[in-house]
Amino acid sequence: MKTADEIYKEIRDEIFAGKLNRGERLVEKELCERLGSSRGYVREALKMLKADGFMDLSRGKGATVSKISYQDIKNIYELLAVLEAKSVELASPNLSTADLDELRAINHRMRACIDVKDRAQARMIWQESNLQFHRLFADKSGNQELKTMVESIRWRTFDFRYVVLFESHYDLFVGQHEALISAIENKQFKTTRKIMENHVNKASEVLLRSLEKVPSFRVAKVTG
């Protein structure tokens, strides 16, 4: 029988993969049958998803996948830029040669995504690798609370349907990663924080400019 944590991760991953759409209603009984678990564990998982902003729970409607607005994304990225910059500031002085080698290897995989013919596969590799790259700094920050916050917020930005919007900027983002690694190697630790902050802000800018072309997001921007 799957635990609440396992159900949480499975539903969260289905949201990112586009298998569950924003505003889609989830029925507890159906989830129990599909995921092979009890109603108690399913309810606990749904509460966890609500706490992390993935799910709305209300009487009558039950559970629905949270809709995200232009302003929601803007707010999330503003917070993420601050937290990621802090995690880099804390982690950079503690990174070993092996850590830097791992960052280079991850970034190499990301660079290889630029000209791959199978774009769907390339986007999956990019998404996973980018998460690994950023996660390393949170892991090495020495601050468990910061790590938990970054992990939760970064997952909320990683809707797989948005990855395609970054494709034309892959080269820029890889270059920013390379600049960050170089600054760490040269012990320019004050610079590393600014590089990461600029990097996250650029990702936010690219995403928001793209979403401005989507009618539902344009309305959310004006009325929000």
Q: Are residues 50 and 74 in the same domain?
A: no
Q: Between 135 and 9, where is the model more confident?
A: 135
Query: Does residue 224 lie within any of the structural domains?
Result: no
Would you state the pLDDT for residue 112?
A: 96
Q: Are residues 58 and 92 in the same domain?
A: no
Query: Does residue 223 lie within any of the structural domains?
Result: no
- What is the tally of structural domains in the chain? 2
Query: Does residue 194 lie within any of the structural domains?
Result: yes
Strand, coil or helix: what is 52? coil
Q: Give pTM, 2 decimals.
A: 0.75
Reported as a single tens digit per residue, the pLDDT across 135-151 is 999 999 999 999 999 98
CA distances 143 to 88, 111, 122, 149, Å, are 11, 30, 32, 10
Query: Does residue 60 lie within any of the structural domains?
Result: yes
pLDDT tier, 71 (very low <50, low <70, confident <90, very high otherwise): confident
Residue where a domain stops, chosen among 23, 47, 65: 65
Q: Are residues 86 and 33 in the same domain?
A: no
Q: Are residues 27 and 91 in the same domain?
A: no
Whole-angstrom distance, CA of residue 215 vs CA of residue 112: 33
CATH of the domain at 19: 1.10.10.10
Range of the domain at 35: 4-65
pLDDT tier, 223 (very low <50, low <70, confident <90, very high otherwise): very low
pLDDT at 130 over 90: yes
Query: Does residue 77 lie within any of the structural domains?
Result: yes
Whole-angstrom distance, CA of residue 85 vs CA of residue 101: 21
Q: Are residues 196 and 105 in the same domain?
A: yes
Q: Are residues 142 and 211 in the same domain?
A: yes
Least confident among 54-58, 68-72, 191-195? 68-72
Average pLDDT (79-95) is 96
